[in-house]
Amino acid sequence: MHRRIFLQASAALPLAAALPCRAVAQQSDFNPQPGAWRTFEVTTRAEVLKPAGITRVWIPVPAVNDAGQKVIDNAWSGNAGAAQLAYDGKYGAAILCAEWPAADAQPVIELTSRFATRNRAVEFAKPGGAPKLDATERAFYTQATELMPTDGIVRETALKITEGAHTDEAQARRVYDWVVENTFRDPKTRGCGVGDIATMLETGDLGGKCADLNALYVGLARSIGLPARDLYGIRVAKSAFGYRSLGAGTENITRAQHCRAEVFLQAYGWVPVDPADVRKVVLEEREKPTTLADPIVPPVRQKLFGAWEMNWLAYNTGHDIALPNSQGAKLAYFMYPQAETANGRLDSLDPDNFRYRITAREIIA
């Protein structure tokens, strides 16, 4: 079985011989700016080592096309009895769904995605001209999710944070600074975290990873009427600015998942933010954890309100995802491959047992 589907094609982005990733400079001021598009290929290979009954696998497929990313195509192969591309009905998250009959002892599926990225940076000195959100879109991006309420302690906290801030930009910056200053990256958190922001605020335990800290930003923003969203994806290359904590160290990116966030400001449109990565630099960039005052941190903190280095692939913006034909619970987000047998949902954070491997390479024309 082999299938190729083109979500978006561009003659300006041909596939060429793969070369090693670009050399990474010594650590320098972090200042992503839009430039040339870079083309990448990411391959996800999944195997179920202990199938039982009907076996199913779901793999996230990139479906985000915006100012910083263009999807070129997706192709899959393997021995599944059936495989097809499906979409979440609410968020449009793309899902490769594969199924094997009970008699199949060695389920294997492989997805290869090609896409192009370029850095994003908002010019705050040049407001105006941004597309507007209509009332329906604004309501969509300010609504609560199962783990991201917008009332109670979430709204109370956001109102305290933004007291005296009278513009959407001032409010968005206040929330960003509060998350940076009051949270911490917890290395004991499994995967990217869960994103249960009410529990974080109620317990006062503001530690976690990107799906926790950036969800906290999104939830606080939504609770005061600022449209915001999470974007779930994976790092695909080293940072060109020499920050080892802000990139993928090797071609094996199996554990390089990372989510980011955006907030919609009337004068600028969708603005990229990533307070979680500021906290990642604090914890991981030095041999030992450092502080926000360390000279390596302020350049990142300043730029990650308004800019992203696009050595990263966005899959989707979905929450509370129900996998097609699954007997298991909804996912808080869909960023890791998932599998299920007659014995239930497998642990997606154990890629050595539910064997999957994700690799990335840059393609130079």
Q: Binning pLDDT at 50, 70 and 90, where does residue 27 land?
A: low
Q: 239 and 266 share a domain? A: yes
Q: Which residues have a Cβ under 8 Å from the Cβ of 68 and sit 6 or more positions away?
A: 117, 118, 119, 120, 272, 308, 310, 314
CA 164 to chain CA mean position, Å? 32
Number of C-beta neighbours around residue 196 at 10 A: 20
Q: 291 and 352 share a domain? A: no
User: Are 74 and 5 spatial neighbours (Cβ–Cβ below 8 Å)?
Assistant: yes
| pTM (2 d.p.) | 0.92
Chain segment 276-309, per-residue pLDDT in tens: 999 999 999 999 999 999 999 999 999 999 999 9
Question: In whole angstroms, what is the distance from residue 223 CA to residue 319 CA?
Answer: 16
pLDDT at 352: 81
Strands 228-235 and 257-265: antiparallel
Which DSSP state fits 49? S
pLDDT at 238: 97
Q: 127 and 156 share a domain? A: yes
pLDDT at 104: 76
SS3 256: coil
> For residue 17, is pLDDT > 80?
no
Chain segment 229-273, per-residue pLDDT in tens: 999 999 999 999 999 999 999 999 999 999 999 999 999 999 999
Q: 299 and 336 share a domain? A: no
> For residue 19, is pLDDT > 90?
no
Q: 171 and 226 share a domain? A: yes
As for how many domains the chain has, the answer is 2
Structural tokens at position 130: 């941004």
339 vs 108, 192, 276, CA distance in Å?
A: 11, 18, 28
For the chain, how long is the longest CA-to-CA vector? 65
Q: 299 and 211 share a domain? A: yes
Output Rg (C-alpha) for the chain, integer angstroms: 20
Q: 148 and 204 share a domain? A: yes
Q: 307 and 204 share a domain? A: yes
Q: CATH no. for residue 97?
A: 2.60.40.2250
pLDDT at 26: 58
Whole-number percent of the chain with pLDDT over 90? 88
Question: In whole angstroms, what is the distance from residue 216 CA to residue 196 CA?
Answer: 8
Chain segment 153-164, per-residue pLDDT in tens: 999 999 999 999
pLDDT at 81: 93
Domain span at residue 345 reads 2-28+36-118+316-363
DSSP assignment of 83-122 equals: EEEEE-TTT--EEEEEEE-TT-SS-EEEEEEEEEE--EE-
Q: 264 and 208 share a domain? A: yes
CA 84 to chain CA mean position, Å? 23
User: Are 210 and 193 spatial neighbours (Cβ–Cβ below 8 Å)?
Assistant: yes
Q: 112 and 234 share a domain? A: no
Where is the domain boundary, 314, 335, 352?
Answer: 314
Q: 152 and 200 share a domain? A: yes
Buried-exposed string 122-160: b where 16+ CB fall within 10 A, e elsewhere = beeeeeeeeeebeeeeeeebbeebebbbbeeebbebbee
Residues in the chain: 365
Q: 125 and 263 share a domain? A: yes
**CA-based end-to-end distance of the chain:** 29
SS3 191: coil
Structural tokens at position 18: 């793969």
User: Are 118 and 36 spatial neighbours (Cβ–Cβ below 8 Å)?
Assistant: yes
What does the pLDDT average to over 298-327? 98
User: Are 16 and 363 spatial neighbours (Cβ–Cβ below 8 Å)?
Assistant: yes
Chain segment 94-112, per-residue pLDDT in tens: 999 999 999 877 999 999 9
Chain segment 187-205, per-residue pLDDT in tens: 999 999 999 999 999 999 9
Q: CATH no. for residue 223?
A: 3.10.620.30
What does the pLDDT average to over 147-157? 98
CA 252 to chain CA mean position, Å? 17
pLDDT at 63: 94
What does the pLDDT average to over 353-362? 94
> For residue 313, is pLDDT > 80?
yes
